[in-house]
A and B are shown apart, each in its own frame.
Chain A
């Protein structure tokens, strides 16, 4: 059973701080990883993808991948109250292109 594990939180950080979200995955064959953001009552939306070891930066967001440790993280710099949401980590599940999602980490950014 392929799994993606995340700490459910909630993770609470003050405005302007760095929020660090983490996940681990079970399938060593997974090559592609994604972070989706889901606001309360809304649908998930893709915010970051990462395919190779190391860091990938996009504005205030940095995704980090360590395939040896089977570990993916998302850093949000200068956190804003508008970043308050649940963040879902996903790994590509196989050759057919499906995704395996973690249960999500709820982030709360306090003004």
Chain B
């Protein structure tokens, strides 16, 4: 069945290292969202794309985070350099322009930065 996939599922890295997370949206979906979830802040929107074009990345720390969609089947979120405060679960979600509230979430990447 159709689902959003994310890799890796878990990542442990040292402070200062580069981290790349990947997402494959559901085939045919034309919006992609990146979220970060922590106990303290809840679910925060980092960036989103419509038809591969970035619409808003105001939720991302610009100096270290970047998000791209090189093609319709791949979205990436990169952190360079990583810091301990980046430790969180990162979710990718996809949907359709016509039903903006219906977002389908991937399983998430649990990132730990030591």
Contact = CB atoms under 8 A, between A and B. Distances in A.
B101 A92 contact: yes
A42 B91 CA distance: 10
Given A43-B106, A97-B50, A98-B56, A32 B43 contact: no
Contacts of B48: 96-98
Interface string B91-110: 10001010011111111100
Contact of A32 (B45, B50, B100, B103): B100
A90 B100 CA distance: 12
A99 B45 contact: yes
Given A49-B101, A90-B101, A97 B43 contact: no
A95 to B, nearest CB: 9
Interface string A80-111: 00000000101011001111111110000000
A43 B107 contact: yes
Interface in B17-66: 31, 33, 41-43, 45, 48, 50, 55-56
10 closest Cβ pairs, A-B complex: A97-B100, A103-B42, A43-B105, A101-B43, A34-B101, A96-B55, A32-B101, A44-B105, A43-B108, A43-B107
Given A32-B101, A45-B105, A102-B42, 9 more contacts: A43-B107, A46-B102, A46-B103, A46-B104, A49-B101, A92-B101, A96-B48, A98-B33, A98-B100
26 contacts: A32-B100, A33-B101, A43-B107, A43-B108, A45-B105, A46-B103, A88-B43, A92-B100, A92-B101, A96-B50, A96-B55, A97-B95, A97-B97, A98-B33, A98-B45, A98-B48, A98-B56, A98-B100, A99-B45, A99-B101, A99-B103, A101-B42, A101-B45, A102-B42, A103-B42, A104-B42
